[in-house]
Every structure is written in C-alpha cells, then in structure tokens.
A and B are shown apart, each in its own frame.
Chain A
Amino acid sequence: MINFLPWLIVAFILIILVLRFVQPELVYSFRQVLVKIGMRKVFLDRKERREDLSAMYNRLLVKDFRYETLGHDWNYALKRVNKMRELYSTLDLQRGDVAGIDDDERKPQVCIIELANLLSNLGDHVKPERDIHHPTVKADEILRLVGNSIKREGEALQKDNEVEAWFIENPMSIEQTIEIMIAAVFGLAYRQQAEARHAQPEVAGNLGFSFRKPAVLKPKDVS
C-alpha cells in the first residue's frame, strides 16, 4: 500500500511556500492567531498559578510586535509605526532584563530594518506629481535641528562641518534614527491619503479636496 504521509507533508510545505510568496498576509494572519492562542494559554496557566510564565509571555509579546512588514496602504503603515515603537521600547537596552529575551536576541536595530521595508513598500506606490514642489528641508537642516535640540547647552550648531563633527562625537541613537524614519512614513502615508482623496470621482455638491497646488488668491480676490 502506498504511504501517502510523506506526500501530504511535501504538499503541505509547498502550499505554505506558495502562500508565503503569493498570499503572505494569510500566513501572517495565521501567525497572529497562533500568538493569540499562545497568549490565552499563558494566561490560563497563570490563573492556575503555575510557574512564572513571564518568559513565554514576553516572547509572544515580541512576536506580536514583530511580524514582517507587508502592506503599503497608509492606514496599515500608520498602525505598523505604533507596533515599531512598542517593539523598540521592549528591546531597548536602556530597559533592564526582559524575561525570556536574551541579550543576544535584543536587537532594537530590527526596527530600522522593518521601517526601511515599510518605507520601501510605501515608496513603491508613490506617484510622482509635477505640481508637488514645496520647498524642501534638506538633510543637513534636519540633522542640525536634531543636533541642536539634543545639545541645548553651548553654542548652537551652524555650519555643516560642526554638525558632522557633533554627530561623530555624539552618535545618533537607534531611537532617534527610528523617529526620523517614522516621520518619513507619516509623510508618505499622508501623501497617499491625499492621492486617494484626489482619485475619488467628483460628485455634484462634493466639496472636493485636491492635493494639487492650492489656488493662489490674487489681490483682488482677497478683498
């Protein structure tokens, strides 16, 4: 008689692999359900006053915060940002020991990688728009602002070489890097919202919103 079990296992693995690349959301939704079930079990065990379950609980908590960044729509991106902040806080080395998370597993820099993935997903869907050409705050200005906000005492950083020297002397924290990336995520998410509103068909009586260049009032219009 043919043993079907190995074939079933192979088929199952193939299906999982196909899903992983074709419909990854399904796999990750499944993973979220597993986290929820795991949490329920941990709480039930806690209720029965079993041993300290903090380690298992924390591992599930981190698993919940950290799943691969997949989406690209603005509300997904904004929700994900909150989870990144929570993940960073949990893995932050400033925090004391976290039960269940060994020191070599505490890699808060994963938040940078996940935010980079999120920016990449959002960036893939940005539509270039000829009419969006506001003045740009350049990177040197952003760094100068960050440096001066942290520095507070002494003379403010002004020249580029002062900014460079200061950041080499006072390396940027992972958290600061994350916040700069989060600002970019918010910026792109808001832009996507504007694009979505603009794409909505106009109907009579609709006070349409346009993300295009706002109409400039001429002096005679102002009166």
Chain B
Amino acid sequence: MTDKVEPLVQLLWADDDSTDALEALADYLDDANFQLERAVDYQSAINKLEENGGIQSLLLDVILPKARGSGSLAYDLGITLADRAAERGVKSIVFLTVVRRSEVVDKYNELVSKYPDVEFSYFDKTRLLEKHVLENMFHCLRTTKSGVPEARND
C-alpha cells in the first residue's frame, strides 16, 4: 500500500469490531507496518497496556464493552480508556467511532488539554473508506508530538 517502509509501531486496537465486522482492517494495519494487538473490551485493553509497556499508539472506539460478554453503562468508556492509556505513556491516540465528535467534545477537549504531550485524533467510522481517510488515520497513528514514534520504557 505504501511505497516506503514505515518504522514498526506497536499499536493496540480496542474495539469489539476488531475481531468481527472490521477484522479486515487488521490486515491493512499489518501491511502498513503496525505491530497490532487487539482488545475487544475496556478491561482487556487495560490488561494489554499493563502487560505490554511498549505500546506506542492506541486506536479505539468511544463505545466499548466493559469486559468480555458485557456492555457498559457508560456510553463513552473509550474516553476513559484513552485517559488511562495517556496516563501510561501512550503518545498517539486515535478514535475511530460512529459517535459524532460533538457528542463527546467536552470530554475530548479535556483529554487534549490534560495530556499536551499526547497526539489525539478523531475519525468517523462511516467515512473510513473515503479517499485518503485510511491513509490519514495511519499517519495520525504514527504521529507523536515529538514527530517520530517513541519507544516506551515503563
């Protein structure tokens, strides 16, 4: 897909669709040189962040089940996950969701101002296959405030 070889980035993708309807996106991410880990709920995403200190980027949905086989009373558990990930040193956080940004704008802006060193981006899932959107999303997943992907040393 890309002509030049991009540096390998360790990516956690937290979305219940990541092993379901959107599983095909995983191949795309593989091809774009992301070392991918997937979590289908909030709890397993937190576990993966704790187990793997090297995760550099997080791709996530705003709507996430709390644990395997459950829903979540909070409709925006993804925002909480982003907060936890930023706290743990993830430098690039990209939302991919059908939730309109205006619905979570206060909490999103709060995250952005709370973590000035973290690069946050927001993508609409219904526009994912429009021209250049996937490529822009991959670019954001690779972008940090310092400009290059950084290895974490937790």
Asked if A and B are interacting partners, one says yes
- Assess the B63–A61 pair: CB atoms within 8 A: no
Given contacts A61-B21, A82-B63, contact A89 B128 (CB under 8 A): no
Q: Identify which of B1, B21, B63, B126 contacts A35 (C-beta below 8 A).
A: B21
Does A52 belong to the interface (CB within 8 Å)? yes
Chain B residues, Cβ within 8 Å of A61: 21, 98, 125-126
Q: How far is the CB of B139 from chain A (nearest CB, A)?
A: 17
Interface residues on chain A, number (Cβ under 8 Å): 36
Given contacts A64-B17, A79-B69, A89-B100, contact A39 B129 (CB under 8 A): no
The interface residues of chain B, by DSSP majority, are classed as: loop
Q: Bound state CA distance, A152 and B131, in angstroms?
A: 42
Chain A residues, Cβ within 8 Å of B73: 186
Interface residues on chain B, number (Cβ under 8 Å): 34
- Assess the B69–A42 pair: CB atoms within 8 A: no
Q: How far is the CB of A179 from chain B (nearest CB, A)?
A: 8
Q: Of residues A35, A36, A80, which shows the largest number of chain B Cβ atoms within 10 Å of its Cβ? A: A36
* A residues lining the B interface (CB < 8 Å): 32, 35-36, 39-40, 42-44, 46-47, 52-54, 57-58, 60-61, 64, 75, 77-82, 85-86, 89-90, 92, 94-95, 98-99, 186, 189
* B residues lining the A interface (CB < 8 Å): 1, 16-17, 20-25, 27-28, 31, 63-65, 69-73, 75, 97-100, 103, 125-131, 134
